[in-house]
Structure 1
């Protein structure tokens, strides 16, 4: 509560506030406030101005707001782009975002074949078992990826689901090199998936665009068409979301 009160107080004033001012306005004991301010400065949520001896909101707070805005922008432009990709390939396409240890579908367009894979908004899946999840994982900052790999527990969703850190690390290295992630029946029997990440200006994976299709229809020609559609979709989303 103190952290939230502090953020809201500094936002209202939109100017640096001293230790004494903050303690008085928020009724926080000075000894407790000292450690709180130190921690928030060290984490980048506050900045300290030695000249005025005041504190103000730092870049980490701004980054949180930007991330939320970027995700909303991506979702708002993705629907039309995914519809174009679905028409170009006749296969189901989706926009996936990172949500803890899973990927979540935020927008989707269904394929036109009678037999097609359905992805619904709000669907979640393990990062290690889907093409969109692997595209996100491979492009995370190293610290975040190491943290995930240190605690991941593999569930054998299908007989072909990847089930070891070593195998996943090797696959993620290839995804990072090529920019393309593949799965074959790792999350859903009979389904192939492929994905590309949508990166921020700093290289963070804001989302992944994936295409899912039945194994029975998967051949070299369709693979090329889907990969071209993914490349076009990511480029269009980046352009329309002003990420380029």
Structure 2
């Protein structure tokens, strides 16, 4: 390993050592105490702390002159913690949706550029769309994926559309970025997305989004309805159940 690489690794080690040192110390530590504990020159520590403070990973209390972990850690860990809470609460709300609609329902989260099923309740009827834990599907072709896309920040959506090819899963899959953007605009206004046999032939999906306090998408909830059973009346029932479920999960997520 070259000298430059060794220095880079050493610098990275110091950053992680700093975070691990401060993590259990809610009251923080002084500059001298940190330098002594890490065994690094005070001048080097000063530069490290300046960078960490600027990025929000370390906070400084001018009264005590102590350094502690910054708010940035909470911002990073928060969404993951919220999603774990949503998954833990999902079974109850999905059971309620399926009881009302008699159709399969699922909670989906963003996994790279796909929607992943993280909780599901299957329909009690003989003709059923099975949604299995861990299933991945294209965001642009599914109701649960499209409603997440519709609530992304513009720069996130633009980046997604720039790297993803809209490949057809069925003859009804949207393969035009312009058409998809137009649909996403309508979805954002209504708060409801539909997939009309765009991912699985014979299956119609209806979904809504679960938003964070900052109005960013945490997850989506969808109902999968065999096309032979789909009616506007059933869709109305499904949308009502989905919105109630999303409100319950959002209330939990924003506590």
Per-residue deviation, 1:102: 1.4
**54 and 78 in structure 1: CA distance in 2 versus 1, 3 angstrom threshold:** same
| Higher Cα radius of gyration | 2
Deviations, residues 188-242 of structure 1 (Å, cap 9, x unaligned): 1111111111112221211111011111211211111111111122123234x25
TM normalised by structure 1 equals: 0.87
Q: Which runs of 5+ in 2 are unaligned?
A: 1-11
Q: 2:181 corresponds to which residue?
A: 169
Deviations, residues 106-129 of structure 1 (Å, cap 9, x unaligned): 111111221110111111112212
Distance in 2 of aligned mates of 1:146 and 1:35: 36
Q: Which runs of 5+ in 1 are unaligned?
A: none
Q: 2:116 corresponds to which residue?
A: 104
Deviations, residues 152-192 of structure 1 (Å, cap 9, x unaligned): 23222222222233222222111111111111122111111
Does the alignment pair 1:180 with 2:192? Answer: yes
Q: 1:243 corresponds to which residue?
A: 254
Distance in 1 of aligned mates of 2:78 and 2:172: 38
Does the alignment pair 1:131 with 2:154? Answer: no
Q: 2:169 corresponds to which residue?
A: 157
**18 and 237 in structure 1: CA distance in 2 versus 1, 3 angstrom threshold:** same
**47 and 196 in structure 1: CA distance in 2 versus 1, 3 angstrom threshold:** same
Does the alignment pair 1:95 with 2:107? Answer: yes
Specify the SS of the correspondent of 2:171. Answer: coil
Distance in 1 of aligned mates of 2:83 and 2:171: 34
Could you tell which deviates more after superposition, 52-61 or 135-144? Answer: 52-61
Q: 1:195 corresponds to which residue?
A: 207
**155 and 39 in structure 1: CA distance in 2 versus 1, 3 angstrom threshold:** farther
How many equivalent pairs are there? Answer: 243
Distance in 2 of aligned mates of 1:170 and 1:122: 29
Q: 1:43 corresponds to which residue?
A: 55
Q: 2:25 aligns with which of 4, 13, 19?
A: 13
Deviations, residues 65-112 of structure 1 (Å, cap 9, x unaligned): 322221121111110110111011010000111122111111111112
Distance in 1 of aligned mates of 2:179 and 2:54: 36
Q: 2:9 corresponds to which residue?
A: none
Does the alignment pair 1:72 with 2:84? Answer: yes
TM normalised by structure 2 equals: 0.84
Q: 1:230 corresponds to which residue?
A: 242
